[in-house]
Chain A
Amino acid sequence: MTIVTGSKTEARLRLQSGRSGLPRKVWQHRADYAYVLPAIAVMLVVIAYPIYYTIELSFFNTPPGLQLRDKIFVGFNNYTAILTSEVFWQVTLNTLIWTFASTFVSFVLGFATALALHRDFIGRGVLRAILIIPWVISAVAASYIWKWIYHSDFGIIGAVLVELGLASRPPNFIDSVSTVLPSLIVVNIWREFPFAMIMMMAGLQTVPEQLLRAAKVDGANAWQRFWHVTFPHLRNVSTVTILLLAVANFNSFIIPWIMTGGGPSNASHIWITHIYELAFGRQRWGVAAAYSVLLFLILMTLGYFYVRALSGNERREAKA
């Protein structure tokens, strides 16, 4: 055991008083830094270096006949090529539609389901478990199943509609440029809304029951109780849920890639699938890296709002 003597303590205090500002603060928190050092080291290797390398690569051309190490410096040409290409704008529009539609509908559906399941009724637990299934099953398996459900010649939906006489031939869900993206969004919503449901159900647990009762005593109807009591309490969890959904949707890959590969005619290509095809299918590592940098900036912006929402939440809780 180490015994701190009076003279040693004095010496340390002198040393500390000799430092000022940032170094002093760092020194005071040296133990904290030591605790997070391993995590920072890992992040530098697995996150910081890939980010740096991606940014570096985005300034190079990588023709199919050359190895990556023989890449050619082209400055901002990759960024110029991306921003002036028709495909970029088509893919960006697809990505925005995909992200906003999936996020908005998943959230609304999840929230509505959470509200419904918040009430006490027989079979609530079973229903809750069933509704979580789409979220827990493998996205790959789900994509293949939906591919067959949607199949333009022999899909289940088409067969039922034809059998019931509601259509003369199966609807074209994923082999048409106009219907493919909405069809994939439906699958994505089906997979994601349970996540929103779980988050909102957790949020609903935090709404004080006495406030709702008090509002009821004061004559507030169901909508007023929801709007003036429940919803304000769910603002933070809603923000976090929406941001998490948006980030996940911007990064979506499995459903569009497996079901359509981005086709037909790029109609279901979103950023990530397009980046994957550019990199691994066409070996345009430089262009794919430039795309990734742009996507990174967008996601960092979303991440900033996410962190801000969490911080705001903490501040409000601290005040309360």
Chain B
Amino acid sequence: MRRITLGGAVLRGAVSTALMASLMSAPALGAPPVDLSKWSPEYVRSIAGTQDFDTARDCAKVTPLDYKGRLTFWYQGVFEGDPDLLRQYYKDFFATFRKTYPNIQLEEQALTYNDLLDKFRTALLGNAAPMAVRLQILGGTEFASKGYLQPLKPEDVGYSTEDFWPGAMKAVTWDGVTYGIPTNNETMAFIWNADIFKRAGLDPDKPPATWDDVVKYSKQIHDKLGIAGYGLVARKNAGNTPYRFMPQLWAYGGGVFDEATANPTYKEIELNSPQSKAALQASYDMYVRDKSVPVSALTNQQADNQPLFLAGQLGMMISHPSDYNVMLDLQKKATGTDKDKAQTVIDNMRYGLIPTGPDGKRAVVFGGSNIHILKPEYVEGGKVDEPAAKAIICMWTSPEWSLKMAYAGSNPGNLNGFKTKWMKERLDSIKFLDVTTSMLPYGIPFPALPQSPEIMNIIIPDMLQNALTGAMTVDQAADDAAKKVKDLMGGGL
């Protein structure tokens, strides 16, 4: 299989983007444990396995290991699109926590990405929330701005703010106060099937360089082979949609606001700018004009794309490094000739950087999750066992567990995780990991606003659906979305 050398490309691209300054430079902060300015696959490899950490010893300084207490905890857990490997690490984490803190009665509840926000909001209304919660990166600001969360910074659980990505810390900061700690941070990459590329007359080892190329390649694949070219996702109320459309929007120079700039102010709405419309037009061209993407894109999530890709019915998609492991899991479950077909797809699976826009701009969503402690008045029973909450937060955000809990699909929120022996191990065992970590410098966080969940989960998918179904023209759909954002920001009904 082709060895992907991306260091040069990453450095060139990374240095040239203002975004990198936003994510990586932290002038007000102390020195981070890793040198972010040197970020490249080679650098990541060079620091892996260089430091040992004793999680229990570190967390004992925060909450004594013999502490007796009770903790209710909700978290965004594994779901149908995750690999079995990750499921095992989740099981291991809770088993280890119970072993490390045998006197803490832990009542944990896992929820899927798409269900967690709704359930958590409802629980808060009834003052029945858990004491601690691990939310998607999109959710923290909403709850912090409403006053549900307690101030919580890495120093409260024995770490330093500099141990975490500056971009991730922005997502847990509201009005200058930190309300949570990042558990994991991730960027996705571009995945393609080299065999399909070859049969469609494309260079099997070369991903599309630009989004315009994606449109072109998708059409070529569809026209020559009669299968879907690109795995467009436009389902509403599903996190997968913004994670796949926003990189396209930003690459074309568009945005919801100015979130793609180094110092966003979120004042001007850019959804109906010519650049944003160009991005939407690209999706329209693939779905309506060329019919080169799955028709089911409007009701699909990424989990629906995975079997299509494995069946050799999809040429390209955007996803995590974990998709490789997911394919392996799915292949194991296949039978007869399907098993061999699946193996052929896996052998031809390639990862590359997400394409750029027409001006060479490359972008990806800086995703991840954060962990928070609730204020007692919103918790069932009216009490929060802070030492118990801090114990689990210390463990989850430790170099060891922030890496293990992100083993296949993400990256450790705690930058020290990159130095652990488990990072070295996963670099050797998780194929294409270096490609997705190479995308980190291009990561753009969602706007740190309480309105972000609605914008990303409802307004953006609505805009896509309005344009792709022909309910509106591309211009009308973009204008309509911009108006909705304006109304929302103005506190409209």
Contact = CB atoms under 8 A, between A and B. Distances in A.
A284 interface: yes
Given A67-B147, A263-B236, A277 B295 contact: no
Interface string B228-255: 1000001111100000000000000000
29 contacts: A61-B493, A63-B491, A64-B453, A65-B145, A65-B450, A65-B451, A65-B491, A66-B146, A151-B296, A152-B296, A152-B299, A153-B295, A153-B308, A153-B313, A174-B296, A174-B299, A175-B299, A175-B469, A177-B470, A260-B299, A264-B299, A265-B462, A265-B466, A267-B469, A267-B471, A277-B237, A281-B118, A284-B493, A286-B493
A32 B296 CA distance: 59
Given A263-B298, A263-B465, A282 B471 contact: no
Contacts of A286: 493
B454 A64 contact: yes
Contacts of B121: 280, 283
Contacts, number: 100
Contact of A153 (B228, B461, B468, B469): B228
B491 to A, nearest CB: 4
A61 B493 CA distance: 6
Contacts of A176: 469
Contacts of A170: 295
Given A66-B146, A261-B235, A81 B493 contact: yes
B454 A282 contact: yes
B407 interface: no
Interface of A: 61, 63-68, 74, 77-78, 81, 147, 151-154, 170, 172, 174-177, 259-267, 277, 280-284, 286-287
Given A264-B298, A264-B468, A267-B469, A154 B308 contact: yes
B48 interface: no
Q: Which 8 A-B pairs have the closest CB atoms?
A: A152-B295, A265-B471, A264-B298, A152-B296, A65-B450, A280-B118, A264-B465, A265-B465
B478 to A, nearest CB: 14
B133 interface: no
Contacts of A64: 142, 450-451, 453-454, 488
Interface in B278-300: 294-299
Contacts of B148: 67
Contacts of B235: 261, 263
B125 interface: yes
A252 to B, nearest CB: 18
B420 interface: no
B122 interface: yes
A170 B451 CA distance: 38
A77 B493 contact: yes
A182 B118 CA distance: 28
Interface in B463-489: 465-466, 468-472, 488
A237 B469 CA distance: 43
A45 to B, nearest CB: 14
Contact of B471 (A68, A147, A154, A177): A177
Contact of B469 (A77, A78, A264, A282): A264
